[in-house]
Structure 1
């Protein structure tokens, strides 16, 4: 691993974990108040190709909208309430666009892991647009780590902006994952924490890749992973683990 790793160990999940409405600027601001200087967030596209933050394939859970965001233009999505579902203090918090997150991160000296989270059938389009936008918005700054569970989305990101670092997300060690990571030219593999052990960390490091995990909310698990040589820990527990 001769390439320097410039990203912090501790990464706030979707902004400030569960303390604020996920994937919103309000959540990023709260994470910053807890001392975090690295974030993870989920990126989708509107029907008219605007990159914005949302985890689910539908709008109901974390906004006042309904249905698939892929079927709606940004003009409509921008009017949704993405905060009231969480708690009254966040009422009227809007969905966040990628350009807002870029401005926040660069103004505050923060790193970011952008998860490309395409709606079904939107893998290539989402990977392409999000990577191009990220390359433009972070030009001259510490680049975002682009990641996805969808190899086709990550391949599209690679083709659109090969200079951006990439990480393959895994919720299981499916057959061929190692070869897929090689073909995608990744710098990191990011797994569910229970998949990661010292042997896997050493295997990834031997290949020249970094090892990251999601979503660790238990101090004992975090301590074990740190002792084993983990490079990044994504957490919801921003008020209990990591920077303060």
Structure 2
């Protein structure tokens, strides 16, 4: 039996992809190419640009609120270095996290998870990335229940495999996907460890770095096990087309509107 090269497989996948629906475009931290990341303005702009979904990052504040911010502290986006896990929501809510991007967004605040869910339109997807540990899961469970969040549209994602395990246990109705950069993919032993981790934590999807050395046939084998594939962060059409050739289900991008137009040319 002839074994196809990775390049040949990629070509085949590309041909197959042209006949299938394109992957859903997920706005990374909202439409963060133009609006301040992880803010309601960025998420609303993503919807205006026609994104199929949004991705946002979440931590627990010191008083147990689930807040939308990427970094452990507020230095980069607010100019004031407050450690999120050590700061109450009352203090975090006062910070301006928009001015660093543009004067147009002066006064933009860190949103709560509940507020992000409130601006999720019908039929759109939400990838909720946990940046801390499994201690956040009880709070997620409470908020998702209070907001009657549709399990078909909300997916919990995390680099922390323990978060995925705990989410599968406590929130079985919701998909939970493990994130990895696959930077050591070229090492067969490391490649095997990625597969083992997916199984160990019960992940229902793989979110991987698009610029990693990953190969199409390996991704196809993962997908054949019923896992969903999401590539991040993809901001140019050339890389997006490569991911489409790999058969990914979702492409996470900072610029959903412009990328969709470029792919349509």
Which bracket does the TM-score occupy, shorter chain normalised? 0.7 to 0.9
* Worse-matched range after superposition: 137-146 or 8-17: 137-146
| Residue 124 (structure 2) aligns with | 110
Deviations 1:54-96 (A, max 9, x none): 0011111012432211111111111111111111000001101
Q: Matches of residues 27-66 of structure 1 in structure 2 within 5 Å?
A: 27-66=42-81
Aligned length: 233
Report the CA distance shift for 1:131/1:216 in structure 2 as closer, same or farther (over 3 A).
Answer: farther
TM-score by length of 2: 0.81
Q: CA RMSD in A?
A: 2.1
Q: Is 2:189 the counterpart of 1:179?
A: no
TM-score by length of 1: 0.88
Report the CA distance shift for 1:22/1:63 in structure 2 as closer, same or farther (over 3 A).
Answer: same
Q: Matches of residues 137-156 of structure 1 in structure 2 within 5 Å?
A: 137-140=147-150, 142-156=152-166
Q: CA deviation at 1:126?
A: 2.1
Secondary structure of the equivalent of 1:156? Answer: helix
Q: CA deviation at 1:170?
A: 0.4
CA distance in 1 between partners of 2:55 and 2:150 (Å): 20
CA distance in 2 between partners of 1:231 and 1:138 (Å): 25
Secondary structure of the equivalent of 1:194? Answer: coil
Q: Which has the larger helix fraction? A: 2
Question: Could you list the runs of 5+ residues in structure 1 that have no partner in the other structure?
Answer: 1-6
| Residue 230 (structure 2) aligns with | 212
Secondary structure of the equivalent of 2:31? Answer: coil
Report the CA distance shift for 1:169/1:184 in structure 2 as closer, same or farther (over 3 A).
Answer: same
Larger RCO (CA within 8 A; separation ≥ 6): 2
* Worse-matched range after superposition: 203-212 or 132-141: 132-141
